[in-house]
């Protein structure tokens, strides 16, 4: 139970982080390269300025203000829609997870991190970084990577339980009628040769009825043999599965020839119990198939014998 709670909390946190990461806007600028000597001007230098959009949404109407004491001229850009007016660099748009690089001619001084005044788009205010290494990674890509890593780790930690859970749900769906009749622990039966003689909705044993009186509880079964070999079946109380008939525990058995039917009954002292668990075993050729358990709710029955809904083989 605690594992499911932890898994639910982890899943909620991961989905929340991923959802936030895909919504957050990330706009950054950096001056990665500076060439102090320019052949275009005796007193100028050439600087590269890069604006990054690390978010998942397009940023529009981007403006980057440079300190007014510096005179800047736009020389080149890797994208169209770029201009500079009064030391304010203008960019029409930057697509998600992309960047715009511009080359500026700077007169009189050199361009540095301290000369960048304000970066903003129509939707968000950006920030400056001193080096390219300081530009944060994309939050959305990081969230996906971290989520994938945690998912892989979770599969290693809970993988066996997750597989068992999915498998059990599939088995219960495939053999729905049998499970609805109260049968559980069907692993040995479902992998046996005997099960191949029956459909997915049939089980060799079915309850004919349950009678309850003040002194005893009697459960009547019918064994239907749809195979080409004799079948021996026995039923006993689940708590005493390994106890022999001679020990006085509730027990009954029958052998039925191919394509025939047989009946068997098991009796319990009536001690006011609300439910009984019966373990059924089968001998079929060289196979001994044990461990199938049926839970019977006694409060469903009165003193008269009543038929029940079950996975009967017609």
- The per-residue DSSP string of 134-177 comes to GSPPPHHHHHHHHHHHHHHHHHHHHHHHHHHHHHHHHHHHHTHH
pLDDT tens by residue, 185-244: 898 999 999 999 999 999 999 999 999 888 899 999 999 999 999 999 999 988 654 444
Q: Is 100 exposed, middle or buried (0-12, 13-18, 19+ CB in 10 A)?
A: buried
Whole-number Å distance between alpha carbons of 91 and 113: 19
What does the mean pLDDT of the chain come to? Answer: 84
Whole-number Å distance between alpha carbons of 67 and 253: 97
Q: Are 277 and 269 in contact, with CB atoms under 8 Å apart?
A: no
pLDDT tens by residue, 49-74: 999 999 989 999 999 999 988 888 99
Q: Are 243 and 236 in contact, with CB atoms under 8 Å apart?
A: yes
Select the more confidently predicted residue: 11 or 311. Answer: 11
pLDDT tens by residue, 89-125: 999 999 999 999 999 998 877 888 899 999 999 999 9
Secondary structure of residue 101 in the 3-state scheme: strand
Domains and CATH numbers, the chain: 27-135 (2.60.40.290), 176-300 (2.60.40.10)
pLDDT tens by residue, 118-169: 999 999 999 999 989 899 988 888 888 887 787 777 666 665 566 666 667 7
Q: What is the pLDDT of residue 13?
A: 76
Q: Is 173 left (phi over 0), alpha (psi -120 to 50) or beta?
A: alpha
Whole-number Å distance between alpha carbons of 92 and 143: 28
* Contacts of 138 by beta carbon, 8 Å cutoff, 6+ apart: 26, 54, 55, 56, 97
Q: What is the pLDDT of residue 94?
A: 94
The single-letter DSSP state of residue 284 is E
Rg (CA), the chain: 39
* Contacts of 230 by beta carbon, 8 Å cutoff, 6+ apart: 255, 256, 257, 258
Sign of CA dihedral 239, 244, 248, 253: positive
Q: Are 198 and 228 in contact, with CB atoms under 8 Å apart?
A: no
Q: What is the pLDDT of residue 155?
A: 66
Q: Are 298 and 217 in contact, with CB atoms under 8 Å apart?
A: yes
Whole-number Å distance between alpha carbons of 282 and 275: 23
| 304 — pLDDT class (breaks 50, 70, 90) | very low
Token pair for 253? 């058995």
Beta partners for residue 112, in sequence order: none
Position 184 pLDDT exceeds 50: yes
The single-letter DSSP state of residue 244 is -
Mean pLDDT across 81-87 = 92
Q: What is the pLDDT of residue 235?
A: 93
CB count within 10 Å of CB 58 equals 14
């Amino acid at each position: 139970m605690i594992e499911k709670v932890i898994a639910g909390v982890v899943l909620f946190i991961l989905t929340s982080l991923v959802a936030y990461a895909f919504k957050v806007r990330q706009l950054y600028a950096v001056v990665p390269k500076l060439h102090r000597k320019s052949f275009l001007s005796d007193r100028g230098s050439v600087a590269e300025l890069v604006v990054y959009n690390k978010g998942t949404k397009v940023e529009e109407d981007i403006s980057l203000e440079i300190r007014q004491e510096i005179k800047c001229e736009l020389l080149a850009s890797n994208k169209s829609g770029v201009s500079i007016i009064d030391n304010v660099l203008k960019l029409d748009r930057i697509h998600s997870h992309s960047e715009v690089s511009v080359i500026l001619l700077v007169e009189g001084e050199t361009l540095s991190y301290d000369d960048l005044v304000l970066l903003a788009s129509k939707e968000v205010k950006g920030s400056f970084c001193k080096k390219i290494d300081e530009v944060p990674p994309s939050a959305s890509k990081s969230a996906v990577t971290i989520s994938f890593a945690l998912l892989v780790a979770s599969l290693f930690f809970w993988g066996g339980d997750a597989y068992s859970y999915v498998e059990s749900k599939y088995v219960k769906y495939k053999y729905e009628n049998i499970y609805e009749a109260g049968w559980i622990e069907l692993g040995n039966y479902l992998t046996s040769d005997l099960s191949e003689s029956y459909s997915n909705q049939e089980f060799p044993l079915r309850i004919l009825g349950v009678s309850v009186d003040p002194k005893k509880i009697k459960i009547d079964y019918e064994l239907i043999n749809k195979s080409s070999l004799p079948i021996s079946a026995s039923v006993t109380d689940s708590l005493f599965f390994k106890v022999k008939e001679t020990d006085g525990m509730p027990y009954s058995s029958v052998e039925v020839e191919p394509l025939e039917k047989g009946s068997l009954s098991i009796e319990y002292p009536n001690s006011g119990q609300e439910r009984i668990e019966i373990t059924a075993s089968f001998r079929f050729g060289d196979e001994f198939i044990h461990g199938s358990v049926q839970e019977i709710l006694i409060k469903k029955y009165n003193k008269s014998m009543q038929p029940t809904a079950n996975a009967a083989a017609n």
